């Protein structure tokens, strides 16, 4: 009934985001002033004409569930199809949490079968990018491939951090190496796979029956396909793509929105990114504020100094406060005279008067101790307290304390 349906792997805890994913799944982490990470793959789907998406999750899905809701913000509330959150469940033969990415898909074959698609697109919920998936479908049809894998050219010196695809001159994949020490090419897998449904069906069944498999697409399923001579074709993606799996990369991806030299434009009308709108009145900038080189969103109120920063909805920056090179997530307050530098402040944090979070690298003697500071959701940083650079704050910090 549906030509292509998408399965979005949103199950990961995102443990390398530490304090930011204590109570929410990684795809629900706020990004870019008003979005959450999952808005990008979901918007890409609807913009690519894919109106059926299964979101696979098992870690803290409550907020993600509520956020996705009926799917309307992405025009994914459909009579047939639409977006559905798929959690693990019990069957008569027993029950199981998802083991690995391939197993998560395997456990939800029932969902896929309902739509009887030609193609299944496997996506992950931790990348920021704009991509027209229908081009992968076109390529698969044109090359008669079993699977199309999206790849990106990365600098040679970074290639060993990725899964690397070696291809022939027609972009047919010859072999695949996970984080090779000596990469043979610079084509990195983006973790986006377009399968023929019958192929996916067969190989995941085999994978599930293989007791030695770790049930992972990259480690097990792709090699198995290559070993049995299936035709896998690389789709060369060009454009902005960022894995936001670490604190540093999440910080950078936010800053990329401000940087006029980074070709990533969320203001363009031709490929909108949709999100669940917080429904707040316009932001207010007072007579005492100085705001530049920043983005801010509805419901925020700015009385202080904001520079090179990303301000989410409902954030208050009070008089004489300074926020630079930082990300302030929804509902957080930076009180009078407080300073925030190179930091990610999660939701509903209060930074009390005169407190200081983070430090500028130019002020550091020991630069190797410098890094982005993170304050977890709901905490209070007491009056005059200091949060060190690179700190990962899980608990509130008392008045005048250092952490």
Tell me if 75 contacts another protein by CB under 8 A.
yes
What is the DSSP annotation of 32-43? TTTEETTHHHHH
Q: Which two tokens stand for residue 64?
A: 């993600």
Tell me if 70 contacts its own copies by CB under 8 A.
yes
Q: How many residues bind its own copies (CB under 8 A)?
A: 25
Tell me if 224 contacts another protein by CB under 8 A.
no
Rounded to whole angstroms, the Cα distance separating 68 from 271 reads 20
The binder of its own copies chosen from 2, 16, 65, 307 (CB under 8 A):
65
Q: What is the dihedral of CA 4, 7, 8, 11, to 10 degrees?
A: 180
Give backbone dihedrals phi and psi of 311, rounded to 5 degrees, phi first: -110, 120
Q: Which two tokens stand for residue 8?
A: 């979005």
Nearer to its own copies by C-beta: 78 or 230?
A: 78
- For residue 265, the cross-strand partners are none
Which of these segments, 69-77, 164-172, 225-233, 241-249, binds another protein (CB under 8 A)?
69-77
Contacts of another protein in 115-134 (CB under 8 A): 134
Q: How far is the CB of 219 from another protein (least distance, A)?
A: 35
The binder of another protein chosen from 2, 16, 72, 353 (CB under 8 A):
72
Nearer to another protein by C-beta: 250 or 310?
A: 310
Tell me if 263 contacts its own copies by CB under 8 A.
no
Residue 89 near which of its own copies, another protein, none (CB within 5-8 Å, type-dependent): its own copies
Q: How many residues bind another protein (CB under 8 A)?
A: 47
3-class secondary-structure state, position 326? coil
Tell me if 111 contacts its own copies by CB under 8 A.
yes
Residue 48 near which of another protein, its own copies, none (CB within 5-8 Å, type-dependent): another protein
3-class secondary-structure state, position 105? helix
Contacts of another protein in 259-298 (CB under 8 A): 266-267, 270-275, 277, 279-287, 289, 291-298
Rounded to whole angstroms, the Cα distance separating 379 from 375 reads 7
Cβ atoms < 10 Å from Cβ of 137: 21
Rounded to whole angstroms, the Cα distance separating 248 from 185 reads 26
Q: How far is the CB of 289 from another protein (least distance, A)?
A: 7
In sequence order, which ranges of 125-182 are alpha helices (DSSP H)?
Answer: 134-143
Rounded to whole angstroms, the Cα distance separating 302 from 79 reads 43
Binding mask 19-38 for its own copies (x = CB under 8 A): ---xx---------------
Rounded to whole angstroms, the Cα distance separating 231 from 229 reads 6
Residues that bind its own copies (CB under 8 A): 13, 22-23, 57-62, 65-66, 70, 77, 84, 87-92, 95, 97, 110-111, 114
């Amino acid at each position: 009934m549906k030509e292509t349906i998408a399965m979005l792997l949103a199950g990961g805890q995102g443990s390398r985001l530490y304090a930011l994913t204590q109570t929410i799944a990684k795809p629900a982490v706020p990004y870019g002033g008003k979005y959450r990470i999952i808005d990008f793959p979901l918007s890409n789907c609807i913009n690519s004409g894919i109106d059926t998406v299964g979101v696979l999750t098992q870690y803290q899905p409550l907020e993600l569930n509520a956020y996705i809701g009926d799917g309307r913000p992405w025009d994914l509330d459909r009579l047939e199809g639409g977006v559905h959150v798929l959690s693990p469940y019990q069957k008569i033969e027993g029950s199981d949490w998802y083991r690995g990415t391939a197993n998560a898909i395997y456990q939800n074959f029932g969902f896929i079968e309902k739509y009887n698609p030609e193609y299944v697109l496997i996506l992950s919920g931790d990348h920021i990018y704009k991509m027209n998936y229908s081009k992968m479908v076109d390529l698969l049809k044109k090359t008669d491939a079993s699977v199309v894998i999206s790849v990106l050219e990365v600098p040679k010196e970074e290639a060993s951090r990725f899964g690397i695809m070696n291809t022939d001159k027609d972009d047919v994949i010859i072999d695949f190496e996970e984080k090779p020490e000596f990469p043979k090419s610079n084509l990195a897998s983006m973790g986006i796979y377009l399968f023929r449904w019958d192929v996916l069906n067969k190989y995941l069944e085999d994978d599930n029956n293989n007791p030695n498999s770790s049930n992972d697409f990259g480690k097990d399923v792709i090699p198995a396909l290559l070993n049995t001579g299936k035709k896998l074709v690389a789709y060369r993606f060009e454009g902005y793509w960022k894995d936001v799996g670490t604190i540093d990369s999440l910080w950078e991806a936010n800053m990329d929105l401000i940087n006029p030299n980074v070709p990533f434009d969320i203001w363009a009308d031709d490929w909108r990114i949709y999100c669940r709108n917080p429904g707040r009145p316009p932001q207010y900038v007072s007579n005492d504020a100085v705001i530049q080189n920043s983005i801010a969103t509805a419901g925020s109120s700015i009385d202080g100094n904001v520079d090179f920063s990303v301000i989410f909805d409902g954030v208050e920056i009070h008089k004489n406060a300074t926020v630079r090179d930082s990300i302030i997530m929804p509902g957080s307050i930076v009180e009078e005279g407080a300073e925030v530098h190179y930091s990610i402040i999660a939701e509903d944090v209060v930074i009390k008067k005169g407190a200081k979070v983070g430090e500028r690298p130019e002020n550091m003697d020991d630069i190797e101790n410098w890094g982005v500071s993170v304050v977890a959701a709901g905490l209070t940083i007491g009056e005059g307290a200091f949060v060190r650079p690179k700190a990962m704050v899980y608990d509130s910090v008392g008045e005048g304390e250092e952490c």
